[in-house]
């Protein structure tokens, strides 16, 4: 089917200025939101409907985390708002338009759910509350955005701070830090606050007062759309202005050591130094995926250059013998030339996270832990860690990509390396004799 330029359909309801920006965005990936009450879901339905009416035969997918949320937040509102334009099939979970366009309705609450979409093709994909999806699940949907036709191929996302997807949404759309193969021009973020949604304010003024009365962290995220502080954050005390220092301010006379969290999915190695007062400085990092044990060891050796390293502390599972070779990871890594002596870390989780929190704590504006400005992965990951829902004193394993560098930091701080001793100059003199010798 081709673009339908002549047909006219009247859709009632006036968009806000921010929603107009969302409607007119032409980037491949467009994210809208940042705070509650900005009219995100309404805008998403309106955009999908307009695209389907304009392009006959368009194939769209609308995704929410759970089937219940999908029905309550979209199916019923779709039928209420656009019932004369669409027909709904509950067996197919699909909205059909008379011109051949369709919107498949899907949910994704796990990696297994995401795999059901592998191999599918969609012209338009809309993900509502994208921060509830991990980056892995997002990547599955990105691969589905294709088709051998002339239709636009775009992804529309709505989002609020928090959730397991907070880190990747913030990286792509807020911080705009891109990896190899990601193009900055492909990503557009349009912020929206409840104050932009005049229709909601007029209809329910108490909603704004409710948001304004929330606890500070929740209010900053839900009302003002701040991405640096959100509910569920494991280390809310982390403050880049307080804990991140410039390379030119790196102190001298430190005692150096390395801490490592190794996995084939990610090596996280940190070069740390401790001063005479017991303050710890993270000077450098190496965070890279796809490295074998020997390759990881060589990266650690590079991290050690030009410094005398006391030891490398790493997860105790590296001392387990591997079934394929009969050798432990420790033996393989320790055999690499230049590798400092390795020792197993104290990997107690709750005690370790408590210690990290102690080092982050500010005493008269001066924390005991400082991180070099070039350690971008650790700086990104620490504030993105979430609470474990079952054990609130432990960090969650999801999103997994933000756990590696903090784990390495925990191992390092739990090593309890003593600070360097102050070497004082003393006058040399012979000791006084205490007993006579036989030839005296």
Tell me the pLDDT tens digit for each residue of 117-128.
Answer: 998 999 999 999
Work out the average pLDDT over 363-385: 91
Q: What share of the chain is helix, strand, coil (3-state, %, to 5)?
A: 35, 20, 40
Q: Does domain 17-222 have CATH number 3.40.50.300?
A: yes
DSSP letter at 83? T
In angstroms, the CA 40 to CA 44 distance is 6
Token output for 111? 């990696």
- Model confidence at 439: pLDDT above 50: no
Residue 94 has a pLDDT of: 95
C-alpha 281/C-alpha 411 separation (Å) is 14
Buried b (16+ CB within 10 A) or exposed e, 110-126: eeebbeebeebebbbbb
Question: In what side-by-side order are the strands of the sheet with 369-372?
Answer: 244-245, 369-372, 280-288, 266-274, 255-263, 309-314, 342-344
- The pLDDT score that the predictor gives to residue 284 is 97
Both tokens of residue 220? 């900053």
Could you report the per-residue pLDDT of 312-326, keeping only the tens digit for each? 999 999 999 877 777
Supply the pLDDT for residue 9: 56
Residue 300 has pLDDT above 50, yes or no: yes
Whether 242 has a pLDDT exceeding 80, the answer reads yes
In the predicted structure, residue 33 carries a pLDDT above the cut 70: yes
- Res 233: pLDDT: 87
Residue spans of the domains in the chain: they are 17-222, 240-414
CATH 3.40.50.300 fits 240-414, yes or no: no
pLDDT digits (tens, 9 = 90+) for 184-194: 999 999 999 88
Backbone angles phi, psi at 202, to 5 degrees: -70, -40
In 340-421, alpha helices (H): 349-360, 376-381, 404-414
Whether omega before 399 lies within 30 degrees of 0, making that bond cis, reads yes
**Is a pLDDT exceeding 90 seen at residue 7?**
no
Rg over CA atoms, the chain: 28
Residue 246 has pLDDT above 60, yes or no: yes
Backbone angles phi, psi at 433, to 5 degrees: -65, 140
pLDDT of residue 428: 47
> Strands 154-159 and 124-127: what pairing?
parallel
Q: How far apart are CA 375 and CA 409, in angstroms?
A: 12
Task: Report pLDDT for 437.
Answer: 45
Residue-level pLDDT at 396: 92
pLDDT in tens, 62-108: 999 998 999 888 999 898 888 889 999 999 999 999 999 999 999 99
pLDDT for res 34: 85
Evaluate if residue 288 carries a pLDDT over 50: yes
pLDDT at 424 over 80: no
What residue spans of 126-252 are helical by DSSP H?
Answer: 135-143, 166-169, 198-203, 205-212, 216-222, 240-243
């Amino acid at each position: 089917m081709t673009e339908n330029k002549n047909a006219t359909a009247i859709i009632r309801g006036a968009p806000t200025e921010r929603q107009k920006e969302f409607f007119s965005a032409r980037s491949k990936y467009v994210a809208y939101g940042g705070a509650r009450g900005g009219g995100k879901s309404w805008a998403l339905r309106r955009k999908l409907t307009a695209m389907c009416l304009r392009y006959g035969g368009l194939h769209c997918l609308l995704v929410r985390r759970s089937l219940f949320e999908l029905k309550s937040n979209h199916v019923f509102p779709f039928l209420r708002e656009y019932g004369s334009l669409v027909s709904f099939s509950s067996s197919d979970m699909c909205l059909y338009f008379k011109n051949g366009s369709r919107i498949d309705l899907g949910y994704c609450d796990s990696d297994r759910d995401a795999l059901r979409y592998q191999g599918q093709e969609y012209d338009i994909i809309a993900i509502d509350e994208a921060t509830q999806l991990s980056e892995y699940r997002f990547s599955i949907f990105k691969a589905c955005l294709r088709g051998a036709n002339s239709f636009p191929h775009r992804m529309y996302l709505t989002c609020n701070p928090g959730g397991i997807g907070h880190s990747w949404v913030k990286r792509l759309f807020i911080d705009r830090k891109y990896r190899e193969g990601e193009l900055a021009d492909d990503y557009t973020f349009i912020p929206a606050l409840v104050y932009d949604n005049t229709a909601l304010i007029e209809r329910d003024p108490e909603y704004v007062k409710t948001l304004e009365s929330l606890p500070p962290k929740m209010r900053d995220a839900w009302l003002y759309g701040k991405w640096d502080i959100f509910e569920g954050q494991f280390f809310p005390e982390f403050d880049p202005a307080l804990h991140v220092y410039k390379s030119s301010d790196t102190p001298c006379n430190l005692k150096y050591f390395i801490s490592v969290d190794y996995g084939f999915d990610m090596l996280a190695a940190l070069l740390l130094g401790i001063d005479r007062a017991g303050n710890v400085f993270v000077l450098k990092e190496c965070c890279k995926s796809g490295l074998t044990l020997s390759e990881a060891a060589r990266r650690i050796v590079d991290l050690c250059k030009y410094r005398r390293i006391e030891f490398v502390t790493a997860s105790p599972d590296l001392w387990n013998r591997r079934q394929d070779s009969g050798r432990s990871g420790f033996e393989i890594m320790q055999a690499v030339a230049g590798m400092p002596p390795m020792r197993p870390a104290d990997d107690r989780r709750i005690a370790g996270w408590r210690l990290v929190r102690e080092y982050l704590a500010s005493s008269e504006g001066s924390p005991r832990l400082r991180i070099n400005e070039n350690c971008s992965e650790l700086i990104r990951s620490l504030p993105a860690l979430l609470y474990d829902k079952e054990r609130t004193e432990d960090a969650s394993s999801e999103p997994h990509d933000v756990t590696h560098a903090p784990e390495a930091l925990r191992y390092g701080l739990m090593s309890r390396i003593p600070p360097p001793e102050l070497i004082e100059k003393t006058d040399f003199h012979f000791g006084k004799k205490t007993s006579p010798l036989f030839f005296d």
